[in-house]
Structure formats: C-alpha cells, structure tokens
Structure 1
Amino acid sequence: MHHFNYKSGRLHCEDVDLHAIADEVGTPVYVYSSATLRRHAKVIQGAFDGQDCLIAYSVKANGNIAVLKTLAAEGCGADVVSGGELLKARKAGIPASKIVFSGVGKTREEMALGLREGIHQFNVESGAELLTLSEVALSMGKVAPVALRVNPDVAAGGHPNISTGKAGDKFGVPWADAPELYHQAKALPGINAVGVDVHIGSQIGDIAPMRAAFEKTIGLVKFLREQGHDLTRVDLGGGLGIPYKADDNPAPPSDYAQMIAEVTGNLGLQVILEPGRVIAGNAGIMISETLYHKPAPDRTFLIVDAGMNDLMRPALYQAHHDIIPLNEPGADHPSATYDIVGPICESTDKFAAQREMPELAPGERIAFMSSGAYGAVLSSQYNVRPLVAEVLVDGDKFAVIRKRPSFEEMMALEQIPDWLT
C-alpha cells in the first residue's frame, strides 16, 4: 500500500499536489510519504505481536535522517553497515540498544564507535573480523555482543546481484566453519557470542527459501546450545519483497511472521529482523521531467532529466519501476511505446525499454514509482550532476530533507594543489 493517488486529475502524495513540489524544488526529486512509512512499520510490527522481536530497519535502503526519525518514532531500531549509518541512526534518535552492525568490512574505527555507543549486536562475518573485534574491545575494556553470520548456501533474491546466502557469495562464514568459530569466540577476550545471524537475499517474494534457511539456522542454534554456547538471539535478516508491478504478489508480512513463529518455536530466542525495502520501497517516488523525443529506426527514445546517477536500480539490477504521468490521462488519451533514457553519457542509462504508456509531450512530468528504497542512497554526482533532492510529505505539508547542492558547493570540496596555482 502507498499514499500516491490521483486527485482531480493530478498525482498527489497524501494531500500534496506533486506538481507543487516539482515547481518549488525542481526535478529530478525524490518524494516520500510519512503515512506510508508509518503504516508499513506498523504492519511489520503488528505481524510480530506476541513474539520477542526487534525490528531493526535496514538503513542502507533509505538512510535519510528524516526518514529514520519517522521510523524511530514508530519504535524501529536500525541495521547499519557503516559507521556513517550508525551515526545517522543515532542522530535520528534510534537508541544504541536497538542497533545491530552488519557488513563484511568493518574497520577498527567503526568497531570502536559501535562499542562506545553500546550497540545491541555486531554481526560478524569472518574469523579475521572476530579476532580484530576482540582486540579492539579488549583495548577499550569493553565486551562486544556478537552473532556470527552464517552462510546457509540457500539461493534467494530477485536478481543474482542481491542474493547473499549462496556458498559463492562474500557474506557470512561457511556453514561447516561455524562450530569452530563459535568455539573460538567463547575463548576470546572481549567477545560475548549471543546469537546466530543469517541473511540470504533481497526482494524475496516466496518465503519457502527463507524457511529452508531459517530451519537450518535454528538447527545450528540447537546444536551450539548443546555444545555449551548460551545463545539467546537469532537475527534472520531482511529481504521480504514488495510489488514493483501490478501483478507482483509477494508474501505478506503476516505469512512471514507466522513462518518465523513456527520455525523458532519455544526456544526463548529474541528474533531480530532487518526489513528495509518492505518499509521504504513503496513509500517513495522519483519525479522527473521529459525533455525530448528522439526517433530511431526501430524505436522512439523519451529523454528525461533524471539519469542513472539519480536512480541506479534499472542499470544495476535491470529493475522495473512503473512510470506514470503526474497528469492523469483520460480514457481516450493515446498511448505510445518508448525507450525511456536519461542524459548520462552511458548506454546503461536506460530506465525502460519498449515501455507502453500514455503518450507524453516534452515538458511533462512523470513519477518513477516504488523508488523509496535503494534510490537516493545509490545516487551519485556522476557527470557533475548534483545529488538529487529529497522531500518528505506529512499530510498537507512537505519539507526538503536533502537539498540539491549548487555547482559551487560541489566544487568547493575539491582543491587545486599549490604546484598548479
């Protein structure tokens, strides 16, 4: 569900006319719905009523501080993968006791930051990281709560680039190595192994592979407990899919929660979940303006002012986004077929190929739907294009939550060495 609908022939976010945002802020621009963020957080939390569950929102999906603050007010924690994400989560008011730190390449400085803040858990992804964390914790007189991320060799995810649980993926420790690593963890100073972590991918519509991975993980928890390890938590990651197309039908959070309740049983485990896309994905859109038609022998290019530097998912994952006009087309409005492309000097700067949609004239505005997750966070200044602006809507009001930098601000970050002046 989302709160983007036509009213009187014009696309709105909640009660705000999106043309008003584009007029004031310019395009391209991301727009997020507070009502949708809140609803999705409540739906996830409600599905786990009665379970000991920490909802640690995955900051990498959309890390804007205003978005994080909105979710913090709903009781969400945070799953972070860098020191910067950790600082953002704290600035947004998320308690350190609700933050888990994931990722394969934590630096000593990031480990020290997590220890100083007193985070809930480090998800450790290798034996080398475990030893380093022990050294850092010992030097600070701290004890790091740890879950080892295990790789269950279960394939899942909407694209090979977002599958994280196969044996050849960089994430997690090999399944066969886990018992020995827990034995090492128990002997290391500054380490307290409190749980097991698993995460197998993203944009998963069918919960069957999740169940297979979770059952395997719970079997490991039981085995490790028999070996004398006092494990009280299981982190099952994120990955639940969202509908990017009208006919997409991913498993609902209620089915997901029921499956997890069945798998975890009466083991007295705190369940940690890291939803990101399922909360933020359909809560955001990107608005762009059409620039030109460019006929070619076998197609017509519709060139827009947004580029792959603003929305990377189609270039990176061949991802689909519904694209609709801000002005609602009438029943007799003609249709056209376009390759929708941006201005970036790359052939991969293509949002859609042979997309049939309402005919559009240059100067009209369009919305890229379901772009609230992995949209602005993946944006860059490639081709010296300013970072795309972000706007948050709440009812009938809106505010810019990341401004579009000027060229002067962009260039102020660069310096000419003395020998060139």
Structure 2
Amino acid sequence: MSDDATPVTDGGESVADAADADPEDSPAIRRLADWDADRLSDIADEHDTPLYVTDLDRVAENCARLRAAFPDADLRYAVKANTARAVLEAVRDAGLGAECASAGEVRRALDAGFDGDDVDYTAVNPPERDLDAVVEWWEDGADLTITVGAADTLDRLRERGYDGRVCVRANPGVGAGHHEKVRTGGAAKFGVPAERVAEVFASARPDFDVVGLHAHAGSGIHGDEDLAAHREFLARVADLAGDVGDLEYVNVGGGIGVPYRDDEEPLDLDAVAAAIREELDGLDARLALEPGRYVVADAAVLLTRVNTVKGAPNELVAGVDAGMTDLLRPAMYDAFHEIRSLEPDSVDREEAPVTVAGPICESGDTFCEGRPLPVPERGDLLALGNVGAYGYEMASTYNSRPRPADVSLAGELLRERESLADLTRLER
C-alpha cells in the first residue's frame, strides 16, 4: 500500500493507530445508542442539518476486525459503499485494497493514494468511456486488474490494446442478500454463466494475464437463510475454480452483513471466515474478498431536525429536513434504520406511534411508519443509524434539493453541503 499520504485523524487518534488496535477492544457492531448525543448535537449546531457524521476511527477498527478474521486473505474494500476521500484514505492506511465498480471509483481510489496493483476494476457492462479511461490509466503505469463478466468485455479490451491482469467473473446461479435487488449471484446481468466459464478462461489466457476467478453472491448477507445460500454459492465457486485451475486468487466477493435492528446480533465473523475456508479448502489459490458494508455501515449517522409535527389517525407525523434524497435505502429497499431522539428530555417523554417523513413530494419519502418513538416536538434533533454504507453514495438532487454535508466525528468537513447554485452549475 502507498504510505506517502498523511494519515487521517478523527477524535485525536490516528486512523492508522486505530487499524493496528486489537479488534477485541471495540464492539463487533456500533449501535445508534453508542453515539455521544452531546457531541452529535454540537456538530449539528455547527454544521446544520441534514448532516452525515462519520467516525473514521470506526472505519479503521472494522478494517482491523476483518484483517484479524481473514489474516491471509487479499482484502479489497468495495468503494461503492462510501467514496469519501477521508474514508478511502482510512481504508488504505488500514492495509486494504480497493474494488471499484466504475472508472470514477478507480480514479477516486488512485487519487486517494492506492497503488495501481491494489486496485480492481470490476466491470459490469462497462460504458465505452469507462474502458477508455481505465486502459489509459493502465498505460500510464497503474498496474490494476480488470474483472470481466462477459466475453464481449475481453474483445473490447483487446481492441484497446490491453493485455494486463484480468479476472473472470462467474455467475454461479446462487444469490444471497438482504433484498432481491442486491442478490447478484443468480442474476444474468452479472458474470459469465457457469457452463461457459471454462470456455472464457481458455479464450482469455493467450491474450491476458489471467489471475483470478471472481463471484459475488449479494449484499447484506446476515441471517441463517442467507448464510446457507452463501455456503451453496461458495461450493459452486470452488467447483468452478477447480475446473479452470492455475489461479493466483479466488475472489468470493463481499456481502458481509451488519445488523440494522437493535435486537439483531452481529455476525460471528470468525465463524463466517471458517466456513469460507472450509468450502474453498483444497484450492491452490489465495482467498480474496471485497467487503464494503461491513467496513463503513456503522461508522456514520444521519442527523435531521423536526420541522413539522401533526396528528393523523392512529399516529403522529414528524416532518424532518432529511428525505429520500439524503438516504434512499428505506424508500428503495424498505430498509430499516434505527431512529433516536437526541433531545436531553426525550427519555422522559411518552412514546407514541410516529411516522418520520421527509420533504420530498413522494409517499415513499418516509424513514419509518408508526414506529414507537418519544413524542416529537418541532426543533428536535433526530439521528438515524447505520448509514455509512450506501447512504451518502445514493443521495440525489431530486426535487432540486442540494445534497447534505458530511463531517467527521472530530468536526472536520469531509464533504461540503451543496448549494442551490451548485444545482444549476452545469446547465447551459
């Protein structure tokens, strides 16, 4: 890993130090109740809301926990989970590589100081401009690896004169994950069909340095049903790897989930690691993984203020200044995020069924419906937990709403709040 950049700090401790810490010194999952309410309130007062707050030390601790569970594996952070420059630098300093789903993510990783040979570009039906850019950076000396999921992509790389490192993505026909929209292992969009993998390897080897086999079951793998499907996925990947042989590594993707509900237990990461090693036992290749959500999910919260309180049949509606443009997961995946009032007197208030709704002109713009919460008042500060993965990354400017700011727990501005002028800056 490149070590020439200044380590990011958060809360007075260097992220590099946090990454070197014993994973047993930090909890396996950080609950919303574990965040300091006074500190979050101070940050909200200084930077306004809606606002993401990111704990960079927690990012480093999660990286250290993964390294302890998979000491011999090649770990590559799935950049799409959170692309903030400070997050990428924290991951780099913790010793992980970068897995990138677009040319833009490759550029971000290189700019954040990742060495080219620590970067994978996992091309899914890649646009022409993406391939052009990635091959150009390779020609300029970034010795990255391109993961291809179609024979067509190999042809397009040949046309561009690329003869570098290639990994072939297989579709094993088994998916797992928290929602049908993120179960990739069985979706035809992703990877070479299992029955064609050997053929594609044979076609690629004369023209490229074919180094690996890749497959990915899905995102947010957590419950027993998901883990059972993941075991079947691993068994199929092992069979494919045995068939093609002569591999530097076998990449089984990411998807390691985290509990979003307070009553859910975290994964036993050591048990998951043991299951992966058991299923891949006997392969003469290094294990590679691409964790994303696990690294950053519990490292950030979203702060929002109540601006409207109104009664409705059987519930109260708390209108807040954050919406689906700031956090899309509840609207898109029906995802659950813990919500906590940060008001000092909230523990003394009665609870009532509360719907927390944003300002977007869509009925789906709600963070919860009829959830038992302290009776809200206008001006209350609320926090939503586990938003570090696919929170800010999926933010949009729908309804012409500027995207929020992102601040470290130490109070350092990581991403500026967009202005109304920013919304029209590119228009002509």
Q: TM-score, normalised by structure 1?
A: 0.89
In structure 2, what residue type is equivalent to 1:174?
P
Residue 127 (1) aligns with residue 151 (2)? yes
Cα distance between partner residues in 1 of 2:34 and 2:279: 42
Q: CA deviation at 1:150?
A: 0.8
Q: Is the 8 A contact 1:204 1:250 kept in 2?
A: no
Of 286, 290, 306, 1:274 maps to 290
Q: Is the 8 A contact 1:6 1:328 kept in 2?
A: no
Q: What are the Cα deviations for residues 217-244 of structure 1, in whole angstroms up to 9, with x where unaligned?
A: 111111112xxxx222111100011010
In structure 2, what residue type is equivalent to 1:267?
L
**Cα distance change on mapping 1:113 and 1:275 into 2, 3 Å:** farther
Residue 256 (1) aligns with residue 304 (2)? no
Cα distance between partner residues in 2 of 1:114 and 1:42: 30
Structure 1 vs Structure 2 CA RMSD: 1.8
Of 221, 224, 231, 1:204 maps to 221
Cα distance between partner residues in 1 of 2:266 and 2:179: 15
**Cα distance change on mapping 1:61 and 1:301 into 2, 3 Å:** same
Matches within 5 A, 1:198-347: 198-205=215-222, 206=224, 207-225=227-245, 230-329=246-345, 331-347=347-363
**Cα distance change on mapping 1:111 and 1:91 into 2, 3 Å:** closer
In structure 2, what residue type is equivalent to 1:127?
A
Count of residue pairs the alignment pairs up: 393
Matches within 5 A, 1:70-81: 70-81=90-101
Q: Is the 8 A contact 1:304 1:340 kept in 2?
A: yes
Q: What are the Cα deviations for residues 49-95 of structure 1, in whole angstroms up to 9, with x where unaligned?
A: 2x2x2111011000011110111111111110111111111111111
Aligned to 1:2: 30
Aligned to 2:422: 409
Where does the alignment leave 5 or more consecutive residues of structure 1 unmatched?
A: 416-421
Q: CA deviation at 1:331?
A: 5.0
What SS does the corresponding residue of 1:321 show, helix, strand or coil? Answer: coil
Cα distance between partner residues in 1 of 2:34 and 2:121: 40
What SS does the corresponding residue of 1:293 show, helix, strand or coil? Answer: strand
What SS does the corresponding residue of 1:398 show, helix, strand or coil? Answer: coil
Cα distance between partner residues in 1 of 2:415 and 2:87: 11
Q: Is the 8 A contact 1:83 1:113 kept in 2?
A: no
Q: CA deviation at 1:382?
A: 1.1
Cα distance between partner residues in 2 of 1:92 and 1:3: 29
**Cα distance change on mapping 1:21 and 1:332 into 2, 3 Å:** closer
Aligned to 2:45: 23
Q: CA deviation at 1:5?
A: 5.0
Of 109, 115, 126, 2:132 maps to 109
Q: What are the Cα deviations for residues 364-396 of structure 1, in whole angstroms up to 9, with x where unaligned?
A: 000010001000000011111111110112xxx
Residue 82 (1) aligns with residue 108 (2)? no
Cα distance between partner residues in 2 of 1:353 and 1:73: 40
Q: CA deviation at 1:347?
A: 1.3
Of 4, 13, 37, 1:11 maps to 37
Q: CA deviation at 1:208?
A: 2.4
Residue 360 (1) aligns with residue 376 (2)? yes
Q: Is the 8 A contact 1:149 1:173 kept in 2?
A: yes
**Cα distance change on mapping 1:400 and 1:382 into 2, 3 Å:** same
In structure 1, what residue type is equivalent to 2:132?
E
What SS does the corresponding residue of 2:59 show, helix, strand or coil? Answer: helix
Aligned to 1:42: 64
Q: TM-score, normalised by structure 2?
A: 0.88
In structure 1, what residue type is equivalent to 2:381?
R
In structure 2, what residue type is equivalent to 1:135?
E
What SS does the corresponding residue of 2:412 show, helix, strand or coil? Answer: strand
Matches within 5 A, 1:170-209: 170-187=189-206, 189=207, 191-205=208-222, 206=224, 207-209=227-229
**Cα distance change on mapping 1:54 and 1:292 into 2, 3 Å:** same
Q: CA deviation at 1:336?
A: 1.4
In structure 2, what residue type is equivalent to 1:233?
Y
What SS does the corresponding residue of 1:405 show, helix, strand or coil? Answer: coil
Q: Is the 8 A contact 1:99 1:120 kept in 2?
A: yes
Q: What are the Cα deviations for residues 327-348 of structure 1, in whole angstroms up to 9, with x where unaligned?
A: 2556542111111110001111
**Cα distance change on mapping 1:3 and 1:320 into 2, 3 Å:** closer
Aligned to 1:398: 411
Structure 1 stretch displaced more, 325-334 or 73-82: 325-334
Aligned to 1:63: 83
**Cα distance change on mapping 1:3 and 1:400 into 2, 3 Å:** farther
What SS does the corresponding residue of 2:411 show, helix, strand or coil? Answer: strand
Aligned to 1:418: none
Cα distance between partner residues in 1 of 2:220 and 2:155: 33
Residue 147 (1) aligns with residue 167 (2)? yes
